[in-house]
Amino acid sequence: MTLKSVCLLRVKVSRVNLASAKEQICQWIGQGVKAYVCVAPVSTLVEARRHPQYAQVLNEASMVTPDGMPVVWLAKLKGCAEVGRTYGPDLMRELCRQTGLRHFFYGGTEQILALLCAHLKKDVPGINIVGVFSPPFRDHATLEGPDIIARINQAKPDIVWVGLGSPKQDYWMRLNRGRLDAPVLAGVGAAFDFMAGTKPQAAVWMQESGLEWLFRLCCEPGRLWKRYLIGNFLFLFYLLKDSFRKCP
């Protein structure tokens, strides 16, 4: 089940693109393989570099997608020509369009989940949404209560989409992976908000130019300035510092 990967800031980022990631996830579902999938923009790599425990959570994932263009560019510089941007919202959208899959959405508010489901049912007629759950706000990921685990398992999803934001969603998947029957858990960050229409998305040209961070910073400066202004500086600093270091 181990995918080829490239080491970026001590995180083993999978050598995938949108098409190959979708194909692999569908294969896991078909085989009943239990997996969890993390997305890795620059901010996730920086957080993992600062916190070894988080890096371990990512490195134990079945797939860590190259979510941002700087991550893709670095992978290509290391000789991984096949790597392409595998953005959480795009991955979720593609798999929701895949015929026959059963989807469960965990995270966000009840309002966001209602808008998300309405959007998906309009965009993908016939999509099989078998359940949703809006958890109470928690500062940190925890073992989910047995009643919610039972609720998810009874729905028999093929994919549990987790929208708690990083790193919380990645810790949650790692903590609860063994208790959930669904073949695949996928943490997709703000994808719920984007697809529900409650947060704006950057234009495609900004995404492809590696400028999505600037768009999001302008939209939410109070919440995101540390992640992007300090985080981008740390990204460059850690790249230089770790340039001759191998992944664990």
User: What pLDDT, in 10s, does the model give residues 163-197?
Assistant: 999 999 999 999 999 999 999 999 998 899 989 88
Handedness of CA 172, 174, 175, 176 (dihedral sign): positive
Does the pLDDT at position 248 exceed 60? no
Q: What pLDDT score was predicted for residue 217?
A: 67
Q: Which residues partner with 128 through β-bridges?
A: 102
Residues 234 and 50: beta-carbon distance below 8 Å: yes
Q: What pLDDT score was predicted for residue 223?
A: 73
**Which amino acid type is present at position 7?**
C
How many CB atoms lie under 10 A from the CB of residue 247?
Answer: 15
Structure letter (DSSP) for residue 180: -
Q: What pLDDT score was predicted for residue 77?
A: 92
Instruction: List the one residue out of 247, 236, 199, 237 whose CA is nearest residue 88.
Output: 199
Which residues touch 177 (CB under 8 Å, ≥6 apart)? 34, 36, 185
What percentage of the chain exceeds 70 in pLDDT? 93
Q: In the sheet where 128-133 sits, what is the strand order?
A: 63-66, 35-40, 184-187, 159-163, 102-107, 128-133
Handedness of CA 68, 174, 177, 35 (dihedral sign): positive
Confidence category of residue 238, pLDDT binned at 50, 70, 90: confident
Residues 68 and 41: beta-carbon distance below 8 Å: yes
Averaged over 207-214, what is the pLDDT? Answer: 72
Averaged over 57-84, what is the pLDDT? Answer: 95
Q: What pLDDT score was predicted for residue 96?
A: 97
Instruction: List the one residue out of 10, 20, 19 whose CA is nearest residue 40.
Output: 10
Q: What pLDDT score was predicted for residue 189?
A: 83
In sequence order, what DSSP letters do the residues of 45-110 get, joined into one string? HHHHHH-HHHHHHHHTSSEEEE-SHHHHHHHHHTT-TT-----HHHHHHHHHTSTT-EEEEEES-H
Q: What pLDDT score was predicted for residue 245?
A: 62
Confidence category of residue 246, pLDDT binned at 50, 70, 90: low
**Which amino acid type is present at position 29?**
I
The reported pTM is 0.90
